[in-house]
Amino acid sequence: MKKNLALILLLSVTVCFSQNDSLTSKNREFSIQQIDSICEIKDYKLVSKGMTGAEMKIESPGKATEIILGKGTFSYTIHLFHFDEAYYNSLTRKEQNKYNFSKKTRLLKAEYSSGLFYENGFGEITKGEFYYFKDALFHVKIKLARREKNKKDTIQEFDLSIAELNNSNTIENILSMNLKNWITEQSDKIIKKYKDLR
CB 141 within 8 A of CB 165: no
Residue 121 and residue 141 in one domain? yes
- Count CB neighbours of 89 within 10 A: 8
- Residue span of the structural domain in which 1 resides: 1-28
Same domain for 140 and 45:
yes
Same domain for 72 and 1? Answer: no
Partners of 66 in the beta sheet?
A: 58
What pLDDT, in 10s, does the model give residues 47-81? 899 999 988 888 888 888 888 899 999 999 999 88
Residues 82 and 61 in one domain: yes
* Domain identity same for 64 and 137: yes
Task: From residue 36, give the alpha-carbon distance in Å to each of 25, 41, 115, 172.
Answer: 18, 9, 23, 27
Q: What is the pLDDT of residues 84-123, one digit of tens each?
A: 778 888 888 888 888 877 777 889 999 999 999 999 889 9
pLDDT of residue 25 exceeding 80: no
Q: Are 173 and 156 in contact (CB under 8 A)?
A: yes
What are φ and ψ of residue 5, in 5° steps? Answer: -65, -45
Residues 7, 102 within the same domain: no
**Number of helices followed by number of strands (H, E) in the chain:** 6, 6
* Least confident piece of the model among 23-32, 80-89, 126-135: 23-32
Per-residue pLDDT, 198: 66
13 and 77: one domain?
no
Whether residue 116 sits in one domain with residue 101? yes
Q: Quick one: 53 exposed, middle or buried, by C-beta within 10 A (0-12, 13-18, 19+)?
A: exposed
| Structural domain count, the chain | 2
